[in-house]
Structure formats: structure tokens, C-alpha cells
């Protein structure tokens, strides 16, 4: 095939400009050098400080478990239904988000190891390349093939959820966010020099996996099932046939030569975090999809403002992976709508290995990070979602109809009909007191009020100049127009099952200037990020207004511009770049980080959010050199913590011939999901 971009691709791999502490490899392969691009949001609206305005049966076991989480009062997100329904051993305060956390914190380190507290054990559940389908070959680093990768566990694991098949057996879903070809293949230089087989392997290493796991003994250890039929095991890739549903399905903007009806997209890309529905399906979030396309400069002029809003460059080609050399659809000069078919929330049923994944258009299109589900007081389904780029927005979807336990067909349709909202935040302190130092304002808190602004509801658009379908396909532009608040990279969101508060990880934003700080994003050049709590009116996820505050302003606790919910900062762990959040059943907040800027490896932390221990943040584990910590999941029985160790060894200059990590097996680094448990079978953290 002719190479229209010969000589114009990004070269060389290791000299790509990147900001912050991330390795150049991470910047290039994970988010297509997003930090090197101009900020995509050039609207003048809403750094809100500038705005003076108002502010199993289908699996009986599983069904019961998911429902149990709902009855408990809040999120089903990360709802790992009770694997063993052990009553919480701690006192009332501990069961109330109030602590009973007793391990000794893991100190910051740069070790090439998974470090866990004394008295705990860990093991690897599944690695990149492990057989998923029963006929998959064993992994062989130097003899990879696309055929093998299509049957093996994919690369860079992210969102993890676990759904029981019984007391001691479960299905685990894992996202495969992106590939790092320079660590996957010896001598890889990218672009036109990549072999077609390498490109096909990369396509197959994206997507997600369903694997059966089983409990090992009576502890919290879980292992991959490696023998027998494993009827649910499945690979979903960048080449899996999917379908669109919801109001934008079939719209002209989604039609291509290969799909003139605009209803059957192929594949999913860059699936980062996600969520689990009350009916036990997975919602997986397509994030940095822009980097896979070439020739954005050749789309019709009318489309250019919309695609550049997603950082698809309308100048030089953006992709070094050159998927277009294997599949022409990735060339936007020939198929300008193909990029519109990515950036969605995809629903996948892990219990139906032949089921078609569904891209749910009612949930909008952006660089989706999470899709956390809960129920409004009246039973409507609510989905919270972040758009992870600098100065992007926080969204929620509220279904039109109510969830009916056990009525699957009805419940799935909830995701196709409802209202998509975007968040606007207002501070309650004088602007002069938000001075950029991180110093708390005189009322003692970065806090205020907010509202969810409607964007679209079915065929009705609330955005001037945009149709409903345009709002769904070009959601970022729609949110610009209604004055949403520009945030510091909204990543994962989770609802506390005990308190009902919705927590948002705001990873960092080194581009925010002193003139752009506001009470919800109070630090310029925000290297370390912060955590936001949203408390909706009446604790009702269906409400349109909320109060908010920042319980955690991250960094070195010795830095006066940090805040740990008022706790004694001499007793907390340093934390930088919160990315994913989850809760244990007692309501304690667990946080994983991506891109530590304090000189340590990334880690996972736990922090009580109520009582005397509120703000007592402690590091529970650290991941190996070059890795980020993803997909944290605390099992409902609180015996197991699952952690996705993404991109171990992804450091500047590392290659297969000169690896910077040998985790987990002493050989080439392999992204893997690990499980951590207390050696004496106690609750984790307690
Ligand atoms: Fe894939 Fe926003 O982290
Ligand atoms: Ca305040
Ligand atoms: Ca993430």
C-alpha cells in the first residue's frame, strides 16, 4: 500500500516532547502525546472562578449480589457481589467509612516489585499473553503472532471487575487500554517500519478480556482457571464487530463506506476505566482514541473544528502506530467519519461470550474514563463519567425509565433513553482567597455548589445550534456551549456505598495558569492533582444540584499547599496524581495513582472519609518501575484487592534488549492483574 505519510510521521520515538514526569513512551503510546498538543478546549468558558453566576439466573448468585449492593444504598460500581458474606468485623464507625485501617503504610520507593504491607501476600492472576481461549498457545515473547494474541490476554490492563459464578469461582473482565510496541517487539521503530504482523498484533492486544478465575484456598487469593472448558472466556479487540444503539445510531455522522447504515462499528480502542451495571454487564470507556488515525488534515473543512476538539490533529498525521496500513478505515482522508465511531461507552455482557458489544450513544462521545452506575431515589439509572484531558468536563447520564430488578431486557434499554448532563461548579469563597498557593480559604475548605446542566435528552437538544445527534457525537463542543466548568483532568468517579458522596479523581493539569485557578481547581501548574467530592441534593443521584468540596489536595504532605481532609499531615503518605478511585464495603476510599511526581513509583492508597480517621491516607501498595496502578477493586467480602499493573518498565530508553523492569517473572515486563490478601485471611486494610 502506498504510504501517504512517508517522512511525515512523528520521529523518533524517544525524543517526542513530553511534560511532567511520565516517560516519553507512556506519553506517546497511551495518549498520543496529548500533553504536547495544544489544549483542545479553547473556549472562553468557565474556569468558574471567572464566572460571577449562580451558582445468575441470569445467574442467581450474581443477581442477588448486585442487588445487595444497591439495597445498601448506593453504587453498584465495582460491585463485586458478596463472594463470602462475612459480616464486617469492625465497629460501627469503621463500617461507616470511618476507618479501622491498621496496616503500616508502604513507604515511597523505586523498586522493581509489587510492594505490599507486612503480613500480606500477593500473586499475579493473569499476565499479558496468558492463554484466554482454551486453544490459545502459550506466550512466547520472541514468536508473537496476531493469531495467538487474538486468543491471549491483551496488553496494558486497566479497568477490572469481578462477577461471581459461585462462591469460589468468578468471571473477571479486564480492559486492555493500549499497546506499547517499543516494549512488545525487539527493534521496533514504529510508523512505516512496523511490520504488518506487528500492527495486527497491536490491534488484537487492545480491547478487553473475560477470564474465569477461582479462589485459592480460604484466603483472598484468586487464580486464573487454566484447565477445562472455560465457556465464558473471551477476547474483545479492535477488530470485534459491535453495534450502535441509542439516539445517534444510524446517524449520517456514523456512516462509512463499510457501514452505510451507521450501525455496526468495528472494534474498541483505548478502553481505560469503566463500570459495572446492576444487571451485571460491563461498561467500558473508550479514552484516547484520537491517536489511532491519520490524515485528519484531509477531512472536510466543516468537520475540522469538531475533530480537533478531540485532539485529532488537522495538521500533520497523528498516528505512529499506522493501523491504516492494515485497515484503511483508520485513514480519515478516505473515511472521515471513522473517528466518530470511537470515543463511546461500550456495554459488554461477560456472561454471553457470543454477544455483540454495544456502543451506547446516549452516553455521549468524549475521552471517556469511567462509567459508574448507581440508582436515583426513584429508581432511574445514573451513570457518572469523566472526560480525561486537561480542562475537560464531568458528565452524568440519567435514564428516562426506572430500573426493574430482574428485567434484563428493560434494564439494558435504560442506557438508550435519558438525559446527558455536564457539571458546572461554583465556589463559595471570595476569588481573592483562591490565590493559587493551595492555602485554604478563610471558610476552611475548597468547596461550593454546583449544577448538572442538561445537554440532550433523546431527540431533544438543549444546546443552541446543535441537533441532538450532534450533541451526542460532538459532546465536547456541546458542553463548551453551555458553560461547563473546565477541570484538571477528570478521571475515575465512584459513589461511596455508605455516604452516597460521588468522588472524582482529578489527576493533574500542569497547563492551568495562575489566572485560571478556581475553587474547584485551586492550584496553577497542578502537578499532583486532587480529589473532589460531590454530594447531590438529598443524596439523590437523580438531582440537578449539588454541594462539593475537595477532601484531598495531593502532593508531599510537607508542602503547605496540600490538604488531607484536615488530618495530621505528619501521619499521612505522600500521594501524587490520583487516577482511579473505588470504595470498600465499609465506605473507605481507595485511590490508585498514575504518574507520581514525587520521585516514587505509583501506588494504591486507602483513606477513611468519616470519623476521627477521616483523611488518614496510607499507601497500601506500590507497583514496579515504570508502571501505573489501575483498576483497583476491593472484593465485597473485603478479603481481596485486585490491582491492574499497567505498563511496567515503560521508562525512557527502555527496550526489550534493555528493559527497566523484569516484573513479574524476571524476564520481559508484562502488564498483569495481581491480587493482594491478608496472610491470615483478615479483611484487607484492617
Ligand atoms: Fe487512561 Fe485517563 O487514564
Ligand atoms: Ca470555600
Ligand atoms: Ca485512568
- Percent of the chain scored above 70 by pLDDT? 87
Range of the domain at 187: 24-287+343-512+520-678
The SS3 assignment for 600 reads coil
**DSSP alpha helix (H) spans, 388-428:** 408-413
User: What's the 597 CA to ligand 3 centre distance in angstroms?
Assistant: 16
Please tell me the predicted confidence (pLDDT) of residue 193. Answer: 87
The span from the CA of 581 to the CA of 578, in Å, is: 8
Please tell me the predicted confidence (pLDDT) of residue 85. Answer: 28
Q: 610 Cβ partners below 8 Å, 6+ apart?
A: 93, 96, 97, 98, 99, 498, 499, 587
Kindly state whether residue 430 falls inside one of the protein's structural domains. yes
Using DSSP bridges, classify how beta strands 358-360 and 243-245 pair: parallel, antiparallel or unpaired: parallel
Give yes or no for residue 272 CB within 6 A of ligand 1: yes
Closest approach atom of ligand 1 to CA 158: 1
Kindly state whether residue 318 falls inside one of the protein's structural domains. no
Kindly state whether residue 306 falls inside one of the protein's structural domains. no
Q: Which ligand neighbours the alpha carbon of 291 most closely?
A: 1
In three state form, how does the secondary structure of 279-332 look? CCCEEEEECCHHHHCECHHHCCHHHHHHHHCCCCCCCCCCCCCCHHHCCHHHEC
Kindly state whether residue 18 falls inside one of the protein's structural domains. no
User: What's the 276 CA to ligand 3 centre distance in angstroms?
Assistant: 16
In this prediction, residue 409 has a pLDDT band, given cuts at 50, 70 and 90, of very high
Give yes or no for residue 287 CB within 6 A of ligand 1: yes
- CB contact at 8 A, 127 and 184: no
Rounded mean pLDDT of 473-491?
98
Q: How far is CA 391 from the centre of its chain?
A: 17
pLDDT of residue 484 exceeding 80, the answer is: yes
Q: 86 Cβ partners below 8 Å, 6+ apart?
A: 637, 638, 639
Q: Which ligand neighbours the alpha carbon of 26 most closely?
A: 1
- CB contact at 8 A, 519 and 537: no
Give yes or no for residue 157 CB within 6 A of ligand 1: no
Kindly state whether residue 380 falls inside one of the protein's structural domains. yes
pLDDT in tens, 258-285: 999 999 999 999 999 999 999 999 999 9
Closest CA to 619 of 581, 574, 582, 577: 574
Give yes or no for residue 369 CB within 6 A of ligand 1: yes
Please tell me the predicted confidence (pLDDT) of residue 74. Answer: 29
- CB contact at 8 A, 78 and 276: yes
User: What's the 271 CA to ligand 1 centre distance in angstroms?
Assistant: 8
pLDDT in tens, 184-207: 999 998 878 899 999 999 999 999
pLDDT of residue 5 exceeding 50, the answer is: no
Give yes or no for residue 180 CB within 6 A of ligand 1: no
pTM: 0.90
In 10 A of CB 277, how many CB atoms? 24
**What separation in angstroms does the CA of 331 have from each of 204, 271, 326, 328, 594?**
19, 21, 10, 6, 31
- Give the lowest-confidence range in 66-75, 390-399, 668-677: 66-75
pLDDT in tens, 92-129: 444 556 667 889 999 999 999 999 999 999 999 999 99
Closest approach atom of ligand 1 to CA 178: 1
Kindly state whether residue 268 falls inside one of the protein's structural domains. yes
Rounded mean pLDDT of 552-559?
98
Closest CA to 210 of 200, 220, 224: 224
Residue scoring higher pLDDT (87 or 431): 431
pLDDT of residue 65 exceeding 60, the answer is: no
Rounded mean pLDDT of 29-37?
74
Burial of residue 52, with CB atoms counted within 10 A of its CB: 0-12 exposed, 13-18 middle, 19 or more buried: exposed
pLDDT of residue 317 exceeding 60, the answer is: no
pLDDT of residue 628 exceeding 90, the answer is: yes
* CATH number of the domain within which 504 lies: 2.120.10.30
User: What's the 447 CA to ligand 2 centre distance in angstroms?
Assistant: 4
Rounded mean pLDDT of 609-624?
96
Closest approach atom of ligand 1 to CA 491: 2
**What separation in angstroms does the CA of 305 have from each of 9, 185, 309, 339?**
22, 36, 6, 14
Closest approach atom of ligand 1 to CA 369: 2
pLDDT of residue 380 exceeding 90, the answer is: yes
Give yes or no for residue 347 CB within 6 A of ligand 1: no
Rounded mean pLDDT of 306-321?
79
Rounded mean pLDDT of 227-237?
96
Count structural domains, the chain: 1
Residue scoring higher pLDDT (56 or 682): 682
Strand-pair partners of 384: 372, 396
In 10 A of CB 301, how many CB atoms? 7
Q: 471 Cβ partners below 8 Å, 6+ apart?
A: 364, 420, 455, 456, 461, 462, 463, 478
User: What's the 74 CA to ligand 3 centre distance in angstroms?
Assistant: 22
pLDDT of residue 70 exceeding 50, the answer is: no
Kindly state whether residue 639 falls inside one of the protein's structural domains. yes
User: What's the 387 CA to ligand 2 centre distance in angstroms?
Assistant: 25
pLDDT in tens, 209-229: 999 999 998 889 999 999 999
Please tell me the predicted confidence (pLDDT) of residue 26. Answer: 78
Rounded mean pLDDT of 366-378?
97
In this prediction, residue 68 has a pLDDT band, given cuts at 50, 70 and 90, of very low
Residue nearest to atom 1 of ligand 1 (CA): 272
Residue scoring higher pLDDT (81 or 658): 658
User: What's the 443 CA to ligand 2 centre distance in angstroms?
Assistant: 5
Residue nearest to atom 3 of ligand 1 (CA): 272
Residue scoring higher pLDDT (313 or 488): 488
Kindly state whether residue 67 falls inside one of the protein's structural domains. yes
Rounded mean pLDDT of 317-328?
83
Rounded mean pLDDT of 476-500?
96
User: What's the 574 CA to ligand 2 centre distance in angstroms?
Assistant: 24
Give yes or no for residue 388 CB within 6 A of ligand 1: yes
Mean pLDDT of the chain: 88
The span from the CA of 404 to the CA of 309, in Å, is: 38
Amino acid at each position: 500500500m502506498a504510504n501517504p505519510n512517508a517522512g511525515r510521521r512523528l520521529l523518533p520515538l524517544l525524543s517526542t516532547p513530553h511534560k511532567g514526569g511520565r516517560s516519553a513512551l507512556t506519553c506517546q503510546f497511551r495518549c498520543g502525546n496529548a500533553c504536547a498538543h495544544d489544549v483542545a478546549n479553547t473556549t472562553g468558558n468557565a474556569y468558574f472562578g471567572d464566572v460571577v453566576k449562580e451558582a445468575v439466573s441470569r445467574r442467581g448468585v450474581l443477581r442477588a449480589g448486585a442487588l445487595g449492593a444497591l439495597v445498601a444504598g448506593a453504587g453498584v460500581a465495582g460491585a463485586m457481589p458478596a463472594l463470602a458474606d462475612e459480616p464486617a468485623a469492625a465497629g460501627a464507625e469503621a463500617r461507616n467509612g470511618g476507618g479501622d485501617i491498621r496496616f503500616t503504610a508502604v513507604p515511597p520507593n523505586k523498586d522493581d516489585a509489587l510492594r505490599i504491607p507486612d503480613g500480606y501476600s500477593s500473586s499475579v492472576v493473569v499476565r499479558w499473553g496468558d492463554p484466554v481461549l482454551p486453544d490459545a498457545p502459550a506466550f512466547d515473547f520472541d514468536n508473537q503472532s496476531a493469531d495467538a494474541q487474538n486468543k491471549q490476554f491483551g496488553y496494558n490492563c486497566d479497568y477490572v471487575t469481578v462477577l461471581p459464578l459461585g462462591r469460589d469461582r468468578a468471571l473477571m473482565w479486564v480492559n486492555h487500554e493500549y499497546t506499547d510496541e517499543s516494549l512488545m517487539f525487539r527493534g521496533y521503530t514504529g510508523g512505516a517500519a512496523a511490520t504488518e504482523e506487528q500492527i495486527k498484533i497491536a490491534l488484537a492486544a487492545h480491547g478487553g478480556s473475560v477470564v474465569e478465575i477461582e479462589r485459592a484456598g480460604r484466603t483472598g487469593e484468586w487464580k486464573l482457571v487454566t484447565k477445562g472448558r472455560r465457556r465464558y472466556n473471551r477476547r474483545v479487540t479492535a477488530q470485534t464487530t459491535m453495534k450502535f444503539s441509542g439516539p445517534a445510531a444510524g446517524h449520517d455522522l456514523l456512516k462509512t463506506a463499510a457501514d452505510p447504515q451507521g450501525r455496526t462499528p468495528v472494534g474498541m480502542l483505548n478502553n481505560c476505566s469503566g463500570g459495572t451495571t446492576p444487571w451485571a454487564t460491563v461498561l467500558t470507556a473508550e479514552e484516547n482514541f484520537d491517536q489511532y488515525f491519520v490524515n485528519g488534515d484531509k477531512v472536510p473543512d466543516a468537520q475540522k473544528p469538531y475533530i480537533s476538539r478531540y485532539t485529532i490533529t488537522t495538521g500533520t498525521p497523528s498516528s505512529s502506530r499506522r493501523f491504516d496500513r492494515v485497515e484503511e478505515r483508520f485513514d480519515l482522508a478516505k473515511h472521515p467519519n471513522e473517528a466518530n465511531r470511537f470515543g463511546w461507552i461500550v456495554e459488554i455482557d461477560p456472561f454471553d461470550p457470543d454477544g455483540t458489544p454495544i456502543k451506547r450513544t446516549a452516553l455521549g462521545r468524549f475521552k471517556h474514563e469511567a462509567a459508574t452506575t448507581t440508582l436515583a431515589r426513584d429508581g432511574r439509572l445514573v451513570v457518572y463519567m469523566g472526560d480525561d484531558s486537561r480542562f475537560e468536563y464531568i458528565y452524568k447520564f440519567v435514564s428516562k425509565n426506572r430500573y426493574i430488578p430482574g428485567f434484563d431486557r428493560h434494564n439494558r434499554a435504560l442506557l438508550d433513553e435519558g438525559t446527558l448532563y455536564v457539571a458546572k461548579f461554583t465556589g463559595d469563597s471570595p476569588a481573592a482567597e483562591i490565590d493559587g498557593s493551595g492555602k485554604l480559604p478563610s471558610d476552611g475548605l475548597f468547596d461550593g455548589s454546583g449544577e448538572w446542566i442538561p445537554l440532550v435528552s433523546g431527540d431533544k437538544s438543549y444546546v443552541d445550534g446543535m441537533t441532538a445527534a450532534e450533541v451526542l457525537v460532538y459532546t465536547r463542543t456541546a458542553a463548551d456551549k453551555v458553560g461547563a466548568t473546565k477541570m484538571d483532568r477528570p478521571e475515575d468517579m465512584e459513589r461511596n456505598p455508605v455516604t452516597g458522596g460521588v468522588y472524582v479523581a482529578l489527576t493533574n493539569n500542569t497547563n492551568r495558569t495562575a489566572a485560571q485557578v478556581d475553587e474547584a481547581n485551586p492550584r496553577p501548574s497542578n502537578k499532583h492533582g486532587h480529589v473532589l467530592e460531590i454530594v447531590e441534593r438529598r443524596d439523590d443521584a437523580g438531582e440537578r444540584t449539588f454541594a462539593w468540596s475537595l477532601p484531598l489536595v495531593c502532593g508531599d504532605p510537607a508542602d503547605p499547599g496540600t490538604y488531607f481532609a484536615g488530618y495530621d499531615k505528619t501521619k499521612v503518605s505522600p500521594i501524587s496524581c490520583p487516577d482511579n478511585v473505588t470504595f470498600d464495603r465499609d465506605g473507605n476510599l481507595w485511590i490508585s495513582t498514575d504518574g507520581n511526581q514525587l520521585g516514587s513509583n505509583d501506588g494504591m492508597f486507602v483513606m477513611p472519609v468519616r470519623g476521627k480517621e477521616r483523611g488518614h491516607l496510607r499507601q497500601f501498595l506500590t507497583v514496579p518501575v515504570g508502571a501505573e496502578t489501575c483498576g483497583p477493586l476491593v472484593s465485597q467480602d473485603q478479603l481481596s484487592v485486585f490491582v491492574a499493573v499497567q505498563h511496567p518498565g515503560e521508562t525512557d530508553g527502555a527496550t526489550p534488549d534493555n528493559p527497566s523492569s523484569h516484573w513479574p517473572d524476571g524476564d520481559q515486563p508484562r502488564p498483569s492483574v495481581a491480587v493482594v490478601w491478608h496472610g491470615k485471611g483478615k479483611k484487607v486494610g484492617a
